[in-house]
Structures are given as structure tokens and as C-alpha cells.
Amino acid sequence: MDVIALTGGIAAGKSTVAGRWRELGAVVIDADALAREAVAPGSAGLAAIVERFGAQIVDESGALDRAALGRRIFADASERSALNAIVHPEVRRLYREAVSRTRATRPTSPIVYDVPLLEEARARDEFGIVVVVHAPTETRVRRLIEHRGMAEQEARERVAAQQPDDERLALADRVLDSSGTLEQTIAQADALWSELRSRTSVGGAE
């Protein structure tokens, strides 16, 4: 089975689906974890970020101050683009290594790439199938306020910083509606996973 890309806007419930699929036997490669590795202390990625954005985005321990960097990039598209140009190539390298390791050690296990920025960072045809976890904008804003303690303005900026829903949905082979309860989302995740696992291949490029 080729790699399944799992994507969705912030607070859409993508991580819930990824966690459920991991319980059901998937090897989940977490793009956020790769992004953290790409900018870890001592990495070339962090050095490039400091050169571009300044030493104030590094904390006292020498690690990236994500809150400081986030405040700078989420309201400025040009700043986000500059950061992405540094981080994305390194994440792609780490992703390829992770896929290779998994195929060598667990050749029969399905691989899911849990990636929030698929539409910005990767080519659609790299994956056998793309699943988009989707909830309306207002639902996601409410979740950010209620579950992550954000102010409403910050929540709306975080949602608006990502590509519009219609562009993300245009990439989808399957859409999982996560606007309902957690139980409803899990039930849909289970049903879709059963469908995907029943196929011998999901086609497409490796």
C-alpha cells in the first residue's frame, strides 16, 4: 500500500484521526515531529532560521522559541514563505528517510503521513490517496478558543493563515467530516480505515 496523506486545517481533528489509525495498525509519520527535528538545537535548519529572523527567536536554552516565531509569521504571508523555504526541504528529506525505514522494517504496514500543510509543502501525486479531515471555519475557531485557550482574534488569524478550505478539499480523494462529536469522528475514521485496508493498493507514486 502506498503512503496515505492525512491532512486538514488547524483544529479540524486530523490528529484524532491519525491517533485512531495508529491504534488500528498504521505507521503514522508526523510532519510536525519532522519539522521539530528539522529545527532542533544545533541543526542547519535552526541556524538558517536565526540568520533570517534574528537571535530573538531562540530561547535561553538555545532552542527555537516557537511562540515568538509564531507571532511573527502567522500574520505575515511573506514571513511564512521565508520560513517554509527553510524548513520544508529538510522535512522532505526526513520524510523520505522515515518511509524508507518503515518499508524496510514493517513492509506490510500501511503508512500514513499526518501533514497539516500538504497543499503548501508537498505535491499531490506523491501519495496514493489523500484524506482531508474537515470542519467548518467557525467550528475550528471555537475549538481553538475552548480547547487551546486562544483569544478569538488569534484563533481567527491561525485559521486564516492556512489555505482556504476549498483549495484543501480540492486535493481530497476522501473527505472525513469532523464537525460532529468525537464519537462520530472516530466512527467515520474506523469506516474509512476499513475501506482503505480492504484495498491491496491505493495507487499513485511512492
By residue range, what is the domain housing residue 84?
Answer: 34-108
The structural domain count of the chain equals 2
Judged by DSSP in three states, 135 sits in coil
Side-chain half-sphere CA neighbours of 180 within 13 A: 9
Q: How far is CA 39 from CA 47, 82, 125, 131, 204, in A?
A: 8, 14, 27, 27, 30
How many angstroms separate the CA atoms of 185 and 179, rounded?
Answer: 8
CATH number reported for the structural domain that contains residue 183 in this entry:
3.40.50.300
92 domain residue, yes or no: yes
The answer on 72 and 102 residing in a single domain is yes
Name the percent of the chain in helix, strand, coil, to the closest 5. 55, 10, 30
Side-chain half-sphere CA neighbours of 89 within 13 A: 8
174 domain residue, yes or no: yes
Considering all CA atoms of the chain, what is the largest pairwise distance in Å, rounded to the nearest integer?
51
Q: What residue type is assigned to position 204 of the chain?
A: G
130 domain residue, yes or no: yes
Give 74-115 pLDDT, tens digit per residue. 878 899 899 989 998 999 989 999 999 999 999 989 999 999
Report which of 129, 116, 46 is spatially closest to residue 83, judged by C-alpha positions: 46
The whole-model pTM stands at 0.82
Give 12-27 pLDDT, tens digit per residue. 999 999 999 999 999 9
The answer on 114 and 104 residing in a single domain is no
Confidence of residue 55 (pLDDT cuts 50, 70, 90): very high
